Amino acid sequence: MASLQNKVAIITGASSGIGRATAILFAAEGASVVLNARGAEALEEVVDAIRRQGGTADAVTGDVGLAETHEKLVRVATRRFGGLDIAINNAGTVGPIKPLADVTLQEWQDTLAANLTSAFLSARYQVPAMLEKGIGSLVFVSSFVGTSVGLPGMSAYAASKAGLMGLVKGITADYASNGIRANALLPGGTDTAMAGDNAQKEWAAGLHALKRIAQPEEIALAALFLAGPMSSFVAGSALFADGGNAAVK
């Protein structure tokens, strides 16, 4: 039987890369998925692809740095599909690529808004919906950058992604006793738009013990593990899906 049958999942950043692969996998596993990104066209393409394969999907466009986006995502999950079981808080931005002293306050704040404040806002709306059911799984997509390594010019990104680890522990302390599991997923370099051009991907491949970067579908499988019943005793943790990157640092 499909592992997410009768489950309802919010997936942010679902129009591309890891979020898109996760949306398609979760729908194939039986979940009703409520998908988000800012751009409508690419997001609708994912919704259409899922529906063509017999899956159930809906879309909510909006910036994850805004509370109203999460309020609407949860409203669609609960009113249209009857509740919320899973949230893959995946949308993110790489932010400015420059040495720290050249980063403006605005660039810093924009990066934290998209990567960290967005996570607070998502949980702020998702947790109450999960409390209604007495069970839920929150996954925050972090990165190997900020935990395993610092990379030149990526301080704002690294700080925002490392911050997710603290948030996961706090949510666990607050709500695990209510049946809500929160975990961080730390992908290694992954073959998406965010990974840059071929030269950048080749450079990133060399950082990993497997000497390659991931396909987004491989990260989606790790998200499926954290979202579903196979990780029922995994809470407050950080799962590295990083091709051995952390192990060889």
The residues annotated as belonging to the active site are 157
Neighbour tally for 101: CB within 10 Å: 6
Among 194, 177, 184, smallest CA distance to 222 is for 184
Minimum CB distance to ligand NAP smaller for 92 or for 96: 92
Among 9, 19, 137, 245, binds ligand NAP (CB under 6 A): 19
Instruction: Judge whether 112 and 92 are in contact, CB under 8 Å.
Output: no
Query: Pattern 138-177, binding to ligand NAP, x per CB under 6 A?
Result: ---x-x----------------------------------
Please check whether residue 42 is in contact with residue 16, taking contact to mean a CB–CB distance below 8 angstroms: yes
Nearer to ligand NAP, 39 or 128 (CB): 39
CA distance 119 to 70: 10
Question: Of 54, 8, 10, whose CA–CA distance to 31 is shortest?
Answer: 8
Among all residues, whose Cβ is closest to ligand NAP? Answer: 17
Binding residues for ligand NAP restricted to 48-77, rule: CB under 6 A: 63-65
Q: Nearest 5°: phi and psi at 103?
A: -80, 125
Give me the residues paired with residue 7 across strands: none
- CB 1 → ligand NAP: shortest distance, Å? 28
Determine, following the binding rule CB under 6 A, whether residue 11 of this chain makes contact with ligand NAP.
no
Length of the chain: 249
114 binds ligand NAP (CB under 6 A): yes
CB of residue 6 to ligand NAP, shortest distance in Å:
26
Residues that bind ligand NAP (CB under 6 A): 12-19, 36-39, 63-65, 90-93, 114, 141, 143, 187, 189-190, 192-195
